[in-house]
Every structure is written in structure tokens, then in C-alpha cells.
Chain A
Amino acid sequence: MITTTGLTKVYRSRGREVTALDGVDLHVREGEVYGVIGQSGAGKSSLIRCVNLLERPTAGTVTVAGQDLTALAGRGPRAGRDLRRARSRIGMVFQHFNLLSTRTVQDNVELPLEILGTSGKERSRKALELLDLVGLADKAKAYPAQLSGGQKQRVGIARALAGDPKVLLSDEATSALDPETTRSILALLRDLNRQLGLTVLLITHEMDVVKSICDSAALMEKGRIVESGTVSDLLATPGSELAAALFPVGGEASGDDRTVVDVTFHGDSATQPVISQLSRTYNIDISILGAAIDTVGGLQVGRMRIELPGRYEDNVVPVGFLREQGLQVEIVGQEAPALVKEGVK
């Protein structure tokens, strides 16, 4: 639905060049919620602004719903008619809501329809319908200043949906909200994604956002995407930074002569009593240092950090047993993945 290839953005000011995006290839499939996560300055904001060409990429292409937007943009800095029409089919919500303070809630939602040239009657019908959808039907005549942050963002979402977009871009939409409001806004986005088949591309610096609503995620660092994929694939990837951050388990080894192992359960393996089997089969004592079970991207996932007595060399066989059970096993503090693989064989 959204594809970028080799997307590069270089800012030039006073002879200095700053590369905000460095050849980003992003692929968002139709109907999914895709999260791009990264620290401040990683280039996420530039990326989402390049998708509807609020920022002109220095190089690379952006295709949304099969339409090459970079080709529509033309050479000048101004947006031509074609690009503006394409933008009207891409909804966008913002961190600071960006509602017009001099218009009522309903008039704010009607604004995109005014731009599209919809008739007055149709505009107000559509606006009220959307406000009903986001649960703010009773606030139609209020001004944005009279609303709470969460309500403002709901108006922002209703406004973004006014042009019947297939794609919704969310630029840190929940970053200015408290945790509870964040949850309700994310739930709303999730509902819209399911009900309307809306493809959502969101950027955020909050792991919880990715965890609660994203089907796929990408990690950005210094203008590049360093990891990406569906959330379930990422969780199954050994050594994935994103997976570890999505699902952190803590706990330090209790002594030098110990092996610490991170075990990830998903799917069927989550229901097997593997730890007690391990203990009985090899007659070893296992301590659990940390554990968590959560729903990530709609999947039940468990993660556990366990400690086995003895050094890694002593535990090759038990670790092999865990792998045989279809679990994802990572040895904490072990710098030799090759050795691990040999152990499996």
C-alpha cells in the first residue's frame, strides 16, 4: 500500500548537510498497522512527512496505493493539483492535533470536505457521521479549546478520515497524551483499521504503541531502517533488538558459574510444561530470573529468563533440548553464536 524505495532526505543549511533519511526502503501492506519506532532525530518524522510529500525527498520514490507520488510532485516546491488530490486521499493525524482554533469541532472535520468541494449539506452529514464514529457526536458545536487532549485527537482522527482515505499517517499521535488516553486512542485506531480496512503507518518513540496495535514494525536509527518485519517474525528472530525491546525480561546471573538463557514461547509451545520437563529429564535446578506473558500484535507470547547451574559448556545438552521443543533460545552474554549452532547439531 505504501512503498518507499531508496528514500533519501538531506537538509542543507548554511553549507552544512544533515542526512535525515539515508536510503529508506519501507513496505507497508494493505490493511496493516505499521509502526516505525526510533529515538528523536532518527528520521521518523522526516520519513512520515516524505510519504505525503510534505517534505520533498532528495532522492528515491514514494508510492501510495499504486500511485507514484514523487512523479506527481513536479520540480517546483509548490504542490500541484495532482499531488494535492493524492494527498486528500491520505489522512494524517498529528502530535499536537493541529485543529483550527477559530472553527468548531464540526467545522474542523468539514475542512477537508470543503477543500474537496463537497456541498454544504453533504459536508455536515459526513462530519456528524465521523464524529459519531469517534465518539464525539455531542461535541460538534464545541471549540477545540474546550476539549481535552484525547478528545482533540479524536477530532483530528475524524478530520483525517473525512476524505475517505485508504491510508492514515499518524505522526506521534499519542505522544502528547497520558497513558490512559493513549490506550483509548490506540484502540480507536485499531478499530478503524479493522472496520474500514484502513492501512495505518504510524511513527512513535513509545514501545507500548507498537506492542498494542502494530502488525509490523521497523526500527530506525540514524536515518536508516535497521530492522523491520511483522511483529511475530521479529519476535522469532534471534538477537532482534526490537523484539528484546518490545518484550524485555530482566534479571542478572546469581554467580559466575551460571548460564543465563532467554526463552521465548509462542504459539503451541506456550502451552507445554517445558521447564519442568527440562528439570526432570536432566535433573537440574532451574531458577527463573524474570518472566512475562503478553499479547503482542494479537499473539500470545511468553518470555522467560532462566538460570542453569554450570557454565555454558556444561549446559549444551539441556539448551539443545529446549530448542528441540520449538522454543527460541538465546544465551545471555554468550558471544559465540557459531558455538550455539554447533551445540544444536
Chain B
Amino acid sequence: MTWSQMQPLLEQACAETLVMVGWSTLIAVVAGLPIGVLLVLTDKGGLLQNTVVNKVIGQVVNIGRSMPFIILMVALMSFTRWVTGTTIGSAAAIVPLAIGGIPFFARLVETAVREVDHGLVEAVQSMGGSTWTIVRKVLVPEALPSLIASTTTTIIALIGYSAMAGTVGGGGLGDLAVRYGYQRFETGLMWVTVAVLAVAISLIQFAGDYAARALHRRGGRSGPSPRLRFLKAKEPAAADISKVA
């Protein structure tokens, strides 16, 4: 297979992957962010502590995370048809990709938001801030570098999932590699596809890291790092008061 034969195939596959991953990432981020934040807020000791809601969301997320993507795609077929009117093609693949991406991203959001210093939450509470204010002005902005890193991870995971979209005729790079490389022994095209994927993922990772680091550098941390704070202990000199006792 010559390069001129490969080129149109690759171009089309790239475009399909881009559409599938782009839309599903967008949906996963938009839906996963509030779910992740809610997981933190409703957790024990959280601002909206609610064990029932927390357990229910947590379980749903776990089920979503534990299901192999190919099974999820099949299981969601009737839902996909209801949303897009079809169960084949790129548009149809976006639905399970997004549904698979939501719990994945939500867990990452949960971890990122949990790492925000509780002192900041307390400070805004002491100013009279509501829970919504705290989410908007503290939790999300302070977790932003981590959230960007989480988005990068989600995009890469979704590119991986999208390889399976070929089973519903969604196309994309992974599908190209399977159909030509595996089924037609076009090893050359398969390796080219792998190379394209490798380059794409490296670029995405680089861009994500760069953005996260740029934000982090601007902000830095207020106060000593958590590790240092631990080493320093909370009250460095209790010596003065010991004279009283």
C-alpha cells in the first residue's frame, strides 16, 4: 500500500476520531464536573453532607467505571438510538463514549477537588460565602490545574475507547488499524496509524501538562506545601505556655 493510498484513509480516520473524542470529552467534562464536585460536597464532613446521595452517586459512578467499554456500547444501544436516531456511525459512537467518560472524569474531579485546602473553604465561609460561592470561587478555580490534567487523562482514555467504536461503524484511527492492519494484513498502514496515535497522544499530553503547569506557576501555593506543614507541626513553639502549666 502506497502513501497516496493511505493518505485519504488516514485523513478520514483522523477526522472521525477528532469528532468522536472532541464531542465526548466536551460532554464528559460538562457532566462529570458537577458530579465530581457533588461527590466531595455530599461526602462525610462535606458542606452538603448527605450519605444517601453520596452512596447512590458513588455506586452509579463505580458501575460506569467498571463496565468494559465494548459492553457499555452494546448495553446503551437503545439509549443511543433514542438520542441520535441511529446505532451506527460516528454520531452513534459519541453517546457511549460520553457516557463512559462521565464517571471516569467525575472520579478525577473528585480527587482534584478534595485536594483543595480546607482552610480556604473555611476562610470563605467566615466571609459569609454560601456553598455555591465556595464551589465557584474556591473549589473549581483552586483545583483548575488538576482539573486540566484530569481532562488530558480523560481525552487520552477516550481515544483508547474510540478504537472500539469501529464495532458500531464509528470509524476512527483505531478502527482503521484493525480493519487494514489486522484483517487485511496491511501491516504498513497499521504501523502508520500507531505512529499517528502516538504522536497525537504525546502532543495532547504535552499541551495539557503545559497548561496545568502554567496555571500552577502563576498561582503557586499559599502557605507552605502540605508536606512541609506536616513536618513543621501545627504549633511550632508550645514552650511559652509550658511556663504556665
Q: Quick one: which of B199-215 are within 8 Å of A by CB? A: 215
For B141, list chain A residues within 8 Å (CB).
100, 102-103
> In A136-159, which residues have CB < 8 Å from any B CB?
143-146, 152, 159
Q: Are B126 and A40 in contact (CB under 8 A)?
A: no
Q: Mark B110-150, 1 if CB is under 8 A from A, else 0.
A: 00000001011011111111110100011001101000000
Of the listed stretches A91-99, A191-199, A304-312, name the one at the interface; the rest are far from the partner chain.
A91-99
Asked if A345 lies at the interface with its beta carbon under 8 angstroms from chain B, I say no
Asked whether B125 lies within 8 Å of A87 as measured between CB atoms, the reply is yes
B117, chain A: closest CB distance, angstroms: 7
Given A111-B137, A244-B244, is A88 in contact with B128 using a C-beta cutoff of 8 Å?
yes
Question: Bound complex: CA of A92 vs CA of B128, how far in Å?
Answer: 11
Q: How many chain B residues have a CB neighbour from A under 8 Å?
A: 43
Could you say which of A92, A172, A205 has the most chain B C-beta atoms within 10 Å of its C-beta? A205
In the assembled complex, the CB of A221 is this many whole angstroms from the nearest CB of chain B, namely: 8
Among residues 19 to 71 in chain B, which have CB atoms less than 8 Å away from a CB atom of chain A? Answer: 47-49
What's the tally of chain A residues with a CB closer than 8 Å to chain B?
Answer: 55
Q: Known contacts being A98-B222, A145-B222, A176-B223, is A54 close to B125, with CB within 8 Å?
A: yes
**Proximity bits, B203-238, A CB within 8 Å = 1, else 0:** 000000000000100111111100001001011111
Count of inter-chain pairs, beta carbons less than 8 A: 139
Neighbour of A98 across the interface among B120, B129, B131, B144, CB < 8 A: B120
A39 on interface, CB distance cutoff 8 Å: yes
- Chain B residues whose C-beta falls within 8 Å of the C-beta of A245 in the assembled complex: 240-241, 243-244
When the two chains form their complex, are residues B127 and A99 in contact, meaning their CB atoms are under 8 A apart?
no
Q: List CB contacts (< 8 Å) of A218-245 with chain B.
A: 219, 221, 241-242, 244-245
Chain A nearest Cβ from B230, distance in angstroms? 12
- Nearest chain A residue, comparing its CB with the CB of B215: A102
Q: Is B5 among interface residues, defined by CB-CB distance under 8 A?
A: no
Query: Which residue of chain A is the closest to B117 with respect to CB atoms?
Result: A98
Q: B residues 74-125 with Cβ under 8 Å of A?
A: 117, 119-120, 122-125
Are B127 and A88 in touch, CB under 8 angstroms?
A: yes
Does A255 lie at the interface of the complex (its beta carbon under 8 Å from any beta carbon of B)?
no
A169–B125 alpha-carbon span in the complex (Å): 13
The reply to whether the CB of A175 lies closer than 8 angstroms to some CB of chain B is yes
Task: Give the docked Cα–Cα distance between A311 and B179 (Å).
Answer: 107
- With A94-B119, A102-B141 in contact, do A208 and B125 touch (Cβ < 8 Å)? no
Q: Does A37 contact B (CB under 8 A)?
A: yes
Cα A243 to Cα B48 in complex, Å, equals 45
**Quick check: is B2 within 8 A (CB to CB) of the other chain?**
no
Q: Evaluate contact between A97 and B223: CB separation under 8 angstroms.
A: yes
Chain A residues with Cβ under 8 A from B133's Cβ? 115
CB <8 Å contact, A77 and B49: yes
Nearest neighbor of A88 in chain B, beta-carbon distance: B128
Q: When the two chains form their complex, are residues A96 and B223 in contact, meaning their CB atoms are under 8 A apart?
A: yes
Give chain B residues whose Cβ lies under 8 Å from the Cβ of A99: 123, 222-223
Can you pick out 26 interface pairs between chain A and chain B where the beta carbons lie within 8 Å of each other? A37-B241, A39-B242, A40-B234, A78-B131, A79-B130, A84-B130, A86-B128, A87-B128, A88-B127, A94-B122, A96-B222, A96-B224, A98-B117, A99-B223, A102-B215, A115-B128, A146-B220, A176-B223, A205-B240, A205-B241, A206-B240, A207-B240, A219-B244, A241-B245, A242-B244, A248-B243
Q: Identify the A interface with B (CB < 8 A).
A: 37-40, 52, 54, 77-79, 84-88, 90-92, 94-103, 111-112, 114-116, 143-146, 152, 159, 162-163, 169, 172, 175-176, 205-208, 219, 221, 241-242, 244-245, 248
